[in-house]
Structure 1
Amino acid sequence: MPYTIHQQLAYNVWANEELAKTVDRVTEEQLVQPVLSSYPTLRETLLHIWEAQVIWPSRMQNKVMDRWPRLSFVGGKKEVMEALVTSAKDMQKFASEAGSEFLAEKMIYRNMRNMPYETVKEEILFHVVNHGSYHRGQAITIIRGLGITKIDNTDLITYLRISAGQQV
């Protein structure tokens, strides 16, 4: 049976929940400590993952965003991780309720630089999860650099094994 977007979105929820367990070991000070990465802090990296999970489903619903959501986000570690996990669940629910015909449609949209694009909606959702995996990896690297060694596994293969009832 082919791997579906719905399985991918379920994995994304699980991976964000696993990341939340790891981030729970980070202090509020470490969350905003400057780091050498794509984003200046762990908090900004996590908010970037959240942001993609908010922006793309919004675009699919023809909502225009002209400002990065993270710029107005207020909250510490608890709020960041709640937003990250909740947005993953919301995206999963959105895709489930939208149906396969909707997800197979091409979407015409503009990015935050106002450049026009056209992409199949389901492909966008695969991108959002892949994007999240990339930045979760960055977050883990940042966390390791902060001296935290107990890291929860967010690998897709681990999720697939757990989902199949296999021991990990």
Structure 2
Amino acid sequence: MKSLLINYLEYNHWANEKMCKYLAGIDDLDIAANKQNEYMTIKKIIMHIADGEQTWLARLNGENIPHMHNLDIGGNLGSICGLVRRNSSDFIDFASAQEEKFFMESTEYINLKGKKFSQNNAEIILHCMNHSTFHRGQVISMLRHVGYTDQSASDFIMFLREKGLQMTE
């Protein structure tokens, strides 16, 4: 279980990196001048990815956070992507340091509505990574709608192919 989850966490980091590298090549002035609403929405989504990963990692670390971190959206795209990269790297480091039994155990946390839950740690990790994947898809879709159509695939199977890995049980 641990090796599969770490592989999925590495995929998430790879996909976050790929998204951020692509965004770094976009002319910010062009987006701001012609498509400001799209740009701000994309920026908010990327911050939401960072916020979600940071919140779930904190919960897995035993911090009972009943709220999102509400990270500052005022930073530039480069600093926000730096946060996304750091969070996904921290997630890999955290999971790598855990014993196999950790992934079978559960974590108690309080959700955004103040309700207490207990969830299996492996399921929390999968949820968080799927959450990030969903929102990266939103970013790519929004970019395509404003004319940026040359992104390369960033799904899990592409990660495995690029890394020369095969899915294992």
TM range (shorter): 0.7 to 0.9
Identity %: 27
The CA distance in 2 between the partners of 1:76 and 1:65, in whole Å, is 26
C-alpha displacement of 1:67: 4.2
TM-score for the superposition, normalised by structure 1: 0.86
| Pair 1:3–1:71, CA change in 2 (3 A) | closer
Question: What code does the residue aligned with 1:154 have?
Answer: S
Partner SS state of residue 69, structure 1: coil
Moved more, 61-70 or 123-132: 61-70
Runs of 4+ in structure 1 over 6 Å off: none
C-alpha displacement of 1:71: 4.4
Partner SS state of residue 26, structure 2: coil
Q: Which consecutive residues of structure 2, in runs of 5 or more, have no partner in the other structure?
A: none
Moved more, 61-70 or 9-18: 61-70
Question: What code does the residue aligned with 2:49 have?
Answer: I
Matched, 1:133 2:140: no
Asked whether the 8 Å contact 1:18–1:153 carries over to 2, the reply is no
C-alpha displacement of 1:125: 0.4
| Pair 1:165–1:118, CA change in 2 (3 A) | closer
Question: What is residue 69 of structure 2 aligned with on the other side?
Answer: 69
The CA distance in 1 between the partners of 2:165 and 2:119, in whole Å, is 35
The CA distance in 2 between the partners of 1:56 and 1:111, in whole Å, is 10
Asked whether the 8 Å contact 2:16–2:85 carries over to 1, the reply is yes
Asked whether the 8 Å contact 2:51–2:69 carries over to 1, the reply is yes
Question: What is residue 163 of structure 1 aligned with on the other side?
Answer: 163
Q: Which consecutive residues of structure 1, in runs of 5 or more, have no partner in the other structure?
A: none
| Pair 1:57–1:2, CA change in 2 (3 A) | closer
- The aligned runs of 1:7-26 (5 Å cut-off) are 7-26=7-26
